[in-house]
Amino acid sequence: MKQENALSRRSRQPELINPSRRTLLLGSAGAMAAVSLLGFTPLSKADEPKSLPDYAAWKDRNALIVHSANTMETHRGAIGTGVITPSEKLFVRNNLPAPPASVTEDPDAWEVRIEGVNKPATLTLAELKTLRVTTVASVLQCSGNGRAFFAHGAGGTQWSVGAAGCVMWTGVPLKDVVEALGGPVDGARYITSTGGEALPDGLDPKTLVVERSIPVKAMDSALLAWAMNDTPLTLTHGGPLRMVVPGYYGVNNVKYVKTVALTENQTEAKIQASGYRIRDVGVKGAPDQPSMWEMNVKSWVTAPLKSGQSGRNMIYGVAFGGTVSLEKIEVSTDGGKSWSPARFLGPDLGPYAWRPFVMAVDLVDGEYRIVSRATDVKGNTQPENRTENERGYGHNGWSDHGVTVTIS
């Protein structure tokens, strides 16, 4: 495949835009003001289509909103009716620049250090592949998915619903690795995973390193994954090897994992100690606040999104329970005044996967506020409203996630 750098693609971009938009892009502020007097809205910097960065150039550009070179989300309408999100459409989120592509050239040679076990060892991916293998479907979702709905201006990428997808992971259960190395040391309470990005010299590594600790009970489901959707794990998604913690927020799924340690305490890395902590608006992050670990019950509508024809309409969406299966999914076309049961679509791929859903409804001309509400088997139901918090994490309120559709 021909490689082009971000610069050459960028310089070609205006051609991809229609001529009037091009003028707007290139025009002076005065010209833009004149155009806006004529009734056009000038294209703001934020609307300018960005190209995919090189490490994610294989992605489906049309399925993604490119927020930045490190943050790309899936368009709400690009999630289809299948259970599995095609890799080309899956969101991407990097806190640091990805390692060089060379790390995925010889995946089997990748080494991971396992510590906090009775026989600490460095294992190659080739060795891991001979221990045991499992495949699990799970939702990968960023903690800040839904941040765009917060009114206080929560800092960070303004994700709508698309910082989430459901994919198949293949790898070795972490439990088997730990058992093969003599079991955990006494007093191990956390699993601490470290990402393999190179860190710049001269800065305290703790402020930058992607190192996350999760409760040791996650050992029951965690895996060291080398494949996603039946393909060797790409660099984009953490190849050659990634920690996968089904049911836990994205940040705990450490990419290019180079160390896994069973530890007594949580890491002091900033991303753990003060980052990814739920706290009131205006409050600084601190280790005593809840960490973004297990995901909550959530759903959203994926079609229709704007308009439809009068008569029979099919309302689609996705729903998941985090670490537990779903009990039911309901849909409302009147903004939550009345609810009807929707039907799950396709196979149930287990508690960590999402369930596409559909509801058939007859609609006459008018405007409809379509919302969905999931309930898990433990009886947790999505709340109507978001829980306000400084960084806009964990939003599962059904009201904000609705869509307004005109039927005519």
Interface contacts to ligand MTE, rule CB under 6 A: 90-96, 140, 142, 195, 197, 210, 237-238, 250-251, 253-256
- Please say which residue, 242 or 373, places its beta carbon nearer to ligand MTE: 242
Kindly give, in sequence order, each residue whose CB lies less than 8 Å from that of residue 130, ignoring residues fewer than 6 positions away: none
Among residues 73 and 376, whose Cβ is nearest to ligand MTE?
73
Q: 80 vs 275, which CB is nearer to ligand MTE?
A: 275
Q: Which does 272 bind (CB under 5 to 8 A by kind): ligand MTE, Mo ion, none?
A: none
CB nearer to ligand MTE: pick between 148 and 315: 148
Q: What is the DSSP letter of 76?
A: G
Q: To the nearest 10°, report the CA torsion of 335, 339, 341, 345.
A: 0
Q: Torsion-angle region of residue 379: left (phi > 0), alpha (psi -120 to 50) or beta? A: left
Q: What is the CA radius of gyration of the chain?
A: 22
Q: Quote the CA–CA distance of 57 and 59 in Å, as a whole number.
A: 5
Those residues whose C-beta lies under 8 Å from the C-beta of residue 397, and which sit 6 or more positions away, are 149, 382, 383, 384, 385, 386, 387
* Stretch touching Mo ion by CB under 5 A, among 86-94, 118-126, 351-359, 369-377: 86-94
Nearer to Mo ion, 252 or 263 (CB): 252
Q: Which residue number, 50 or 93, has a Cβ lying nearer to Mo ion?
A: 93
Min CB(236)–ligand MTE separation in Å: 7
Q: Which of 250, 322, 356, 397 binds Mo ion (CB under 5 A)?
A: 250
Q: How far is the CB of 251 from Mo ion (least distance, A)?
A: 5
Q: Classify strands 223-228 and 164-173 as parallel, antiparallel or unpaired.
A: antiparallel
Q: Counting contacts by CB under 5 A, is residue 251 touching Mo ion?
A: yes
Spatial CA neighbour of 371 closest among 345, 346, 326, 336 = 336
Q: Which is nearer to ligand MTE, 271 or 303 (CB)?
A: 271
Q: How far is the CB of 137 from Mo ion (least distance, A)?
A: 20
* Token pair in block for residue 309: 């024809």
As measured in angstroms, the least distance from the Cβ of 324 to ligand MTE is 21
* Minimum distance from residue 393 beta carbon to ligand MTE (Å): 11
- Runs of H (alpha helix) within 159-253: 174-180
Which one of the spans 3-11, 184-192, 247-255, 325-333 is the region binding Mo ion (CB under 5 A)?
A: 247-255
Q: Which parts of 131-150 interact with Mo ion (CB under 5 A)? A: 142
Crossing angle, helix 29-37 and helix 19-26, to 10 degrees? 130
DSSP state letter for 309: -
Question: Quick check: bond before 42 cis, omega within 30?
Answer: no
93 binds Mo ion (CB under 5 A): yes
In whole angstroms, what is the distance from residue 138 CA to residue 323 CA? Answer: 9
Host H or E run for residue 33: helix 29-37
Site residues for Mo ion, 21-60, by CB under 5 A, read none
**Among ligand MTE, Mo ion, none, residue 147 binds (CB under 5-8 Å by kind):** none
Residues that bind Mo ion in the complex, under the rule CB under 5 A = 93, 142, 250-251
